[in-house]
Structure 1
Amino acid sequence: MEPVEVVDPAGFAGEPDGIERLWTPHRMAYIQGEGKPADPSDAHQCPFCAAPERSDEDALIVHRGAAAFVILNLFPYNSGHLLVCPYRHVADYTDLTEAEVLEVAELTRTAMRVIREVSGPAGFNLGMNQGAVAGAGIAAHLHQHVVPRWEGDANFLPIIGRTKALPILLSDTRAAYAAAWPTEAA
């Protein structure tokens, strides 16, 4: 990639230093807490409760099941990062019904198969952050993370630069995963 010369007539940009910068202004919404409920116990403020009320394309929903749905993470750890959420506004895994546990597990397995077919990752991180202290951004509504991983995806950018480069638009990822989702799956 050829360096781009920045013309700064006012002199505010400083001296050229040869460092490339990736600007990720979309992350500011996450940093500032946009979309987080002011009252975590209020399901009317919850983005996971609001998503099923919207179209799949607008909400980035990949698949709707009977007790749970699969949605792209709006602030992904990696390209293709999916969330499996029960429709019911419940915070703790131990409070899920047997039907919800079964469907969250089955949708997680199907999500892994679909991601493998479409994106070809080398592995996955799966997990639930239970409670804000454990890292849950929306602690009041349980969600299972399905994060595809590739060799070298944890390079210097996220570690040193606190930046993640995502090579595909969320809407394009949703469309590809939705098209590949098996129709007979839960």
Structure 2
Amino acid sequence: MAEVIQQEKHGKRRSRQASIRVDMTPMVDLGFLLITFFMFTTNFSKPNTMDVKLPAKNITGTKTEINEKNQITFILGKENRIFYHQSSAGKLNSENLKETEFTDAGITKIITEAYKNAPLQENFTVIIEPTQDANYKNFVDIFDNVSASQKLRYGISELKPWEKTVYQNISQ
């Protein structure tokens, strides 16, 4: 491990100087063992997940009809734009499809107002429809808002053809 090497000088005799040479091989092995140990026992990143509460299975087999006033639909568009409406297929037009700011307070306020005005609040449903141009961050943000508003019924759907037509006219 360590050895002492003595060197003698010719000429005048002085005290002998001892040179100590330390073998570092075991220290390097120990270092790699410690690094390996800590790599195996450490979590490098915690998984970031979102709890999704799925609706209960319909045991009776009956379909629940959702009145247009018992739902609100959010359409996620490009460039952080968000639109919402409470209309059915024949009634949606450019005046009914409204745009709002993408803020937590604004979205929560819209959901709360629609919930208060719903005829059957136990059937109130929030529908989220991302377009092809929407980004993932906006989808997660609106999903967080729906979860925070404690509304137990929500759905994620594709943009319907009649909504797509009105959305394309407004978003241009």
Provide the TM-score with structure 2 as the length reference: 0.28
Higher-strand-fraction structure: 2
Taking structure 1 as the reference length, the TM-score comes to 0.27
Task: Give the structure, 1 or 2, with the largest relative contact order (CA under 8 Å, sep 6 or more).
Answer: 1
User: Which structure is larger by alpha-carbon Rg, 1 or 2?
Assistant: 2
